[in-house]
Amino acid sequence: RKTKPKMSRVVSTVDIIITVLFFLEMVLKMWVFGIWKGESAYLRDTWNRLDCFVVFTATIAIGFKDLFFFRALRVIRLVVKSREVKLIISSLLEAVPAMGNVLLICSFAWLIFGCVGIQLFMGSFYHCTDASVEEKANCTGTYEHVITDAFSEQTEEREREWVHRPPCNFDHIGAAIECLFECAIGEGRSEERR
């Protein structure tokens, strides 16, 4: 039990030392390359700006212990140091506009299929709570509902209601697109709502 506070102090001390070293590295680079003037200035490079942001957030996180999640940003410094990782991140960032175009086309296709689904299936997923009634006009009044368990059978009088079966339906465009999205990703959010 006494090792936890000691370990916490050691980790906190190492955290401060590493942050100070990172800060000194940033200041030395700014001194050598210049801050903004010149083509090889420190803040002219996007990766150095990212590095500067990480160092400043880590420095701020030392003063405020509640901001411990800023420590996770230090992993980004690995990106700055590795040319291969820089290439991967740059490629991903260059692909973002193309991903936006794909998302736009998929959204348009979901909208079209959602409209078709509304035309074909709107209101067709409804049924009466009384299994013997098939039409909405006849789904009024009460009925005898049979409740069975392992040893007995009981009847209960219930109101007939016209309800839709699945949570996924095509009654309006929002529900239609949600239903199509669930089909596309293979996950059932509507199962959680039951």
pLDDT in tens, 106-162: 889 999 999 999 999 887 888 888 888 888 888 888 888 888 877 778 888 888 888
Q: What is the pLDDT of residue 75?
A: 67
Alpha carbons 106 and 126: distance in angstroms, whole number:
29
Does the pLDDT at position 192 exceed 60? no
Label the pairing between strands 153-159 and 142-148. antiparallel
H or E element in which residue 153 lies: strand 153-159
Report field, pTM of the whole predicted structure over 0.75: no
Q: What is the pLDDT of residue 131?
A: 83
Q: Out of 28-32, 72-76, 94-98, 163-167, which region has the weakest mean confidence (pLDDT)? A: 72-76
Write out the two tokens for 21: 């070293």
| Closest residue by Cα to residue 93 from 50, 42, 139, 142 | 50
**Banded model confidence at residue 93, pLDDT cuts 50, 70, 90:** confident
